[in-house]
A and B are shown apart, each in its own frame.
Chain A
Amino acid sequence: MNILVLNCGSSSLKYRLIAMPGEKELAGGEAQRVGPPTAEPARIHHRVAGTEQVITVGMPDHAAAFDEVIRLLAESGGLAPDVLGHRLVHGGDRFCGSTIIDDDMERLHAVKDMAPLHNPPAIGLIEACKRRYPDLPQVAVFDTAFHSTIPSYASTYALPKTVRRDLEIRKYGFHGTSHQYVVAEAAKHLGKPLEQLNAVSCHLGSGGASLCAIVRGRSVDNTMGYSPLQGLVMSTRCGDLDPAVTLQLLHDHVTDIDAVEKVLNQKSGILSLSGTSADIRDVFAGMSVGGKDQERLREIASLYLWRIRKYLGAYLATVGKPDAVIFTDTIGETMPAVRYALCADMWWFGLQLDPQRNTSPGKLPADISADNSPVRILVIQTNEELAIARQTYDLLQTSTNISVRI
């Protein structure tokens, strides 16, 4: 079964065609600058059989981008999807697991505004695919679904019940697809049944980042909350903030909510602290170069690490006896200095890093903890597209009323 995984950004479309159950990637790529014309032309980076080609083509919307992807696949040795697996960022309370798309689109539309940048284009694409290929099965996989197991004592904000109910306010958690994937891989690596694994998963991306507390293989907390804004200091997102500061911003912007949202989502975080780069890797690189900015960059790095460290301690305390701490995504996988700083002086929690293994972890997944470390420290490469393909495949295998062309 060839599953085409589609990951819709606000102006991009990432895709990967994966043959299941063998999990072999047949093709992949990314359509960039989808939407109205920009300074640079829209293009698709298309990878197949180890080679990449860049195709410049106009893509006024995600449906047009999808048409181009289907065309490119067909030209790549007659590849074609049997099933589409869509990533949706937010499923709200309505979707506690992946779901097969049927004719009833109302439930999907009900969660459209819960992730205003990501959900509308993804739902629009699902509808376009239905029109173009009505017989092609489609599955939606939600980032929030893995966190539907977060207990109410962790997901409830101390707000009036009517406000919580009317606005559907609770902690939803994000990056669920990635956390779920690496936790399953960690269980495999440790030779432990997933149902017995306690861990803290650190998804440290160059853009967004979150930590997830895992008890018996299930998510029990996530640093992101009602939205992806809460938690760690991210590339352009502020993370945790005193509610009074948000109120002050609203007041200062004469209640221009969109303007405040833009400040907190796109103009804060590492970008606002450094003034030049939103990428924490640039901050670390600048620190090692020296110069007049060195001290300031050190403070930014310290702030970034401090917030992660606090949540790491918080979650290690809540999961009981942890088996592992998992590092994943761009920063988590490739920055030994970040892992070292976070694990230093954490013996109280049972963490002891092996500096040599940390610096040269080799092929992932890798165990970088010292032999005597009671808690294993793992570096695992995340693969959200494969996770979506797995969930799509599993769902269709258990579903009786969908016929899939093999």
Chain B
Amino acid sequence: MNTLVLIPRLRRLEYAFFSDDDRKALLESHLDGLPSEKGAMMDTLRKIRADCIMFNAGPPDLVVIRSAYGGAAFARTMRVDVEMLSRFADLAAKAPMHVPPVHLLAQASLQAFIGAVVVMAFETAFFVDLPDRERRYGIADDSVRRFGYHGLYHQAAGTERDGCRRNGPTRTLSLCLEPQPELAAIINHQPVMVTSGATPLEGLPGETTCGELDPAIVLTMARNLGWSPEQINNVLTRQSGLYALLGRPSHLGDLLGSYNWSMKEGGFPAADDGTPGAAYNILAYRILLVAGAGVATMGGLDRIVLSGRYTDQGRDLGQWLAEKLRSADADMERPKVVLCRTSLSRILADQGVVAAYEDNDPLRRFSSTTAPHGSHAPPSMQNRTS
């Protein structure tokens, strides 16, 4: 079976192509710009289709589209059809930046890949059933709720077998090291806590996003600087985080990779504002705080799973966290650190296959090696289906 994965970003469209017999992508690439008009989107998809054919014998059988947002309405990966698209379009008011382009991409995919099954996977789906106490805020409006925005990585992290407990539920801290990092606490395969909030702005600071902020700060910015909500939003989403702390654009991976975490066993070394040392300290401290919170929500910790594009650069950070989070009970084992190197496109491809099978789809006709229960079932699906 040939699977095409489409990941729409703000200013580009990433895609990857997988065939039956290889877990590695045959092709991973991107096109700059994300069309906002249907004709242009169709042209883009035709280019991608041509690319796929060039790298493989035939066109895709399965197309998997990643959506950053699915609200409470989409709790799992869904087959795209007219009815589904209509429900999805209703979410546009809640996520105006994300939903319209993904909707257009899905619509165009149905036409561009006739004969293929098109499914949509949602980053928020994993968190739809967060417990009330975690998802709600201390405000009257109960429609404002918390989601996570790296649910696909966290779900894959939760299904990693390494470090699972033999007896009792496995308590996992899943730290997704993407440009907007996110931590989730997961008991077995159910999330009980996540750092992001109603939007990805809350939680850990990102490469350009502010993370946790006193609500009064936003009001002070409006009052004392005379900025509009749009101006403040621009500062909080594009000029904050590591960019603000370092005074220049910076990748989280570079910061993590260049730091000697073993230095920090005795505490955080002094560093001047604006230096990489100060940025490291702020980030590490915030991660330690939310990790401690996660342990409290689970009543303990078995393992820390790192995922995302900066997994390898975060290896030392993971070991440092595991040491810091050791139990006060000396008989308890030190939490294990697991690196989940599965790419987002591979996770999406696996999600798509499972969704297609769960929908009793014609994809069943394909080789049993792609079946989630088969001997070659995707690792990120094995525990979920067992």
Which residues from chain A sit less than 8 Å from chain B, CB to CB? 151-154, 156-161, 163, 166-167, 169, 171, 221, 225-227, 229-230, 233-234, 237-248, 250-251, 255, 257, 260-261, 263-264, 267-270, 272-273, 275, 299, 302-303, 305-307, 309-318, 321, 345-350, 374-375
Q: Which of B138-146, B355-363, B371-379 contacts A (4 or more CB under 8 A)?
A: B138-146
What is the bound-complex CA distance between A310 and B220, given in angstroms? 27
Known: A153-B282, A244-B199. A159 touches B324 (CB 8 A): no
Q: Which of B17-25, B59-67, B111-119, B208-216 contacts A (4 or more CB under 8 A)?
A: B208-216
A317 and B213 contacting across the interface, CB-CB below 8 Å: no
| B259 is an interface residue with CB less than 8 A from chain A | no
Residues of B within 8 A of A221 (CB): 289
**Which of B199, B274, B329 makes the CB contact (< 8 A) with A350?**
B329
Residues of B within 8 A of A312 (CB): 296
Of all chain B residues, which has the CB nearest A345?
B299
B235 and A159 contacting across the interface, CB-CB below 8 Å: yes
Nearest CB of chain B from residue A183's CB, rounded to whole Å: 19
**Which of A153, A163, A306, A311 makes the CB contact (< 8 A) with B281?**
A153
- Beyond contacts A225-B216, A226-B216, A246-B219: 15 other A-B pairs, Cβ-Cβ < 8 A, are A152-B281, A158-B240, A158-B241, A158-B242, A167-B224, A242-B199, A243-B201, A243-B215, A245-B215, A303-B132, A310-B293, A311-B293, A313-B292, A313-B293, A313-B295
Q: Would you give the 0/1 interface string for B188-206, flagging 1 where the beta carbon is closer than 8 Å to chain A?
A: 0000010001110110010
Considering the complex, which residues of chain B in the window 287-334 have a beta carbon less than 8 Å from any beta carbon of chain A? 288-297, 299-301, 324-325, 327-329, 332
What is the bound-complex CA distance between A316 and B299, given in angstroms? 13
Residues of A within 8 A of B239 (CB): 160
The 6 closest A-B pairs by CB, nearest first: A313-B296, A317-B292, A350-B328, A242-B197, A227-B216, A233-B138
Number of interface residues of B (CB under 8 A): 74
B327 and A241 contacting across the interface, CB-CB below 8 Å: no
| B249 is an interface residue with CB less than 8 A from chain A | no
Known: A167-B224, A244-B202. A348 touches B300 (CB 8 A): yes
Residues of B within 8 A of A374 (CB): 328-329
What is the bound-complex CA distance between A269 and B136, given in angstroms? 11
Known: A159-B244, A251-B229. A245 touches B214 (CB 8 A): no
Nearest CB of chain A from residue B279's CB, rounded to whole Å: 9
What is the bound-complex CA distance between A375 and B136, given in angstroms? 31
Nearest CB of chain B from residue A229's CB, rounded to whole Å: 5
Known: A243-B201, A243-B218. A299 touches B138 (CB 8 A): no
B290 and A314 contacting across the interface, CB-CB below 8 Å: yes
Of all chain A residues, which has the CB nearest B142?
A273
A316 and B285 contacting across the interface, CB-CB below 8 Å: no
A245 and B220 contacting across the interface, CB-CB below 8 Å: no
Known: A154-B285, A250-B229. A314 touches B296 (CB 8 A): yes
| Residue in A152, A273, A315 whose Cβ sees the most chain B Cβ within 10 Å | A152
Known: A163-B221, A243-B202, A310-B193. A348 touches B328 (CB 8 A): yes
Known: A229-B216, A314-B293. A244 touches B140 (CB 8 A): no
A347 and B329 contacting across the interface, CB-CB below 8 Å: yes
A153 and B268 contacting across the interface, CB-CB below 8 Å: yes
Known: A229-B215, A348-B299. A160 touches B138 (CB 8 A): no
B236 and A243 contacting across the interface, CB-CB below 8 Å: yes
A167 and B139 contacting across the interface, CB-CB below 8 Å: no
B288 and A318 contacting across the interface, CB-CB below 8 Å: yes
26 CB < 8 A contacts A-B: A152-B281, A153-B285, A158-B282, A166-B225, A167-B217, A229-B216, A238-B215, A240-B212, A242-B137, A242-B144, A242-B198, A243-B213, A243-B215, A244-B197, A250-B218, A267-B140, A268-B139, A269-B138, A273-B140, A306-B297, A307-B138, A309-B296, A310-B296, A318-B292, A348-B327, A348-B329
Residues of B within 8 A of A261 (CB): 216, 219
Known: A158-B210, A160-B235, A306-B134. A241 touches B139 (CB 8 A): yes
Considering the complex, which residues of chain B in the window 216-269 have a beta carbon less than 8 Å from any beta carbon of chain A? 216-225, 228-229, 232-233, 235-236, 239-242, 244-245, 247, 268
